[in-house]
Amino acid sequence: MENLVGLPPIYADTPIDLAPAKIITSFPVNTFLENLAIAPDGTIFVTNHEVGKIVRITPDGNQQIHASVEGKVSGLAFTSDGGLIATGWNADSVPVVSLVAKDGTVETLLTLPDAIFLNGITPLSDNKYLTADSYRGAIWLIDFAQPSASIWLEHPLLARSNAENSIPAANGIKRFCRTVYVSNTEQMLLLRIPLGMGDHPSKPEVFVEKTNIDDFAFDVEGNLYGATHIYNSVVRIGTDGMTTIIAQAEQGVIGSTSVAFGQSQGDRTSIYIVTNGGMFLPPPTGVVAANVVRLEVGKAGYIFV
């Protein structure tokens, strides 16, 4: 793999099996696309992190601003009524969880002054969501109905090994059946947290070591598809923990940050990847355009219901 000067060669001996790729749309250089959620009709919603925008993208690649947040926006997930719930910071750099109605209207659901860096977010049950706090080393439980926020789990495996390191620790988070998976990017770990009674967390355990995963998605069989961010690739991690590289820089995934499965009929075996073009660690050629890339992986995505 190229453009990885100075990084630990964690994928140097990883098998490569590239999936068919297509760039759906691109954003200007120095656009930090952070997360995405895909609606049943194929509409892609993307967070433009640093400028606080949620962009709506049609299946043919047309871009429109869907919503604007006063601050920054990171993680994104759907609500039960087809709206969006987003994590980020407000204009005063205080972590917030925002609600975005179908028409793009934004309201602040919760302000979390005890949080530090809210990142990935995923449904836990009907009105409850889990969101990773990348710098506190914790996972917050967001109760949509109350609304309220509380620490669901705080643990050294979710934290940074070095608090001076700007790389996020707990980052991407997804539920697969009765297990919550979390990537700790700074420690290069993929963790799993079995769910106990009442969806309380069991002790987190290491599933994969020496892997640089940002956000990710699961197929119906439990294979994980992860964005490797500064490693400019997308990987598939099987249920046995074995890793395969399925996209590289040449497929347009430089600075890959997040993955989601297509939801419309005929598109359910595709994954979509958003990127930042290498803003965090530019390739030798410099930062490139931020892309939305589709990969055909041949498996349908897992949907938590």
Class of domain 21-296: mainly beta
Please, which pLDDT band fits residue 130 given cuts at 50, 70 and 90?
A: very high
pLDDT in tens, 219-263: 999 999 999 999 999 999 999 999 999 999 999 999 999 999 999
| Average pLDDT score, the chain | 96
How do residues 148-201 score in pLDDT, each as one tens digit? 999 999 999 999 999 999 999 999 999 999 999 999 999 999 999 999 999 999
Residue-wise pLDDT for 7-22, tens only, equals: 999 999 999 999 999 9
**pLDDT band with cut points at 50, 70 and 90 for residue 1:** very low
pLDDT for the residue 270: 98
Q: What is the pLDDT of residue 3?
A: 45
> Can you give the residue ranges of every domain in the chain?
21-296
Instruction: Give the DSSP per-residue string, the chain.
Output: --S-TTS--TTTT--B-PPPEEEEEEE-TT--EEEEEE-TTS-EEEEEGGGTEEEEE-TT--EEEEEE-SEEEEEEEE-TTS-EEEEEEETTS-EEEEEE-TT--EEEEEE-TT-S-EEEEEEEETTEEEEEETTTTEEEEEETTTTEEEEEEE-GGGS-SSTT--S-SEEEEEEETTEEEEEETTTTEEEEEEB-GGG-B---EEEEES----SEEEBTTS-EEEE-BTT--EEEE-TTS-EEEEE-GGGT-TTEEEEEE--STT-TTEEEEEE-TTSSS--TT----EEEEEEE-SSPBP---
Once rounded to an integer, what is the mean pLDDT over residues 2-6? 59
This model's pTM is above 0.85: yes
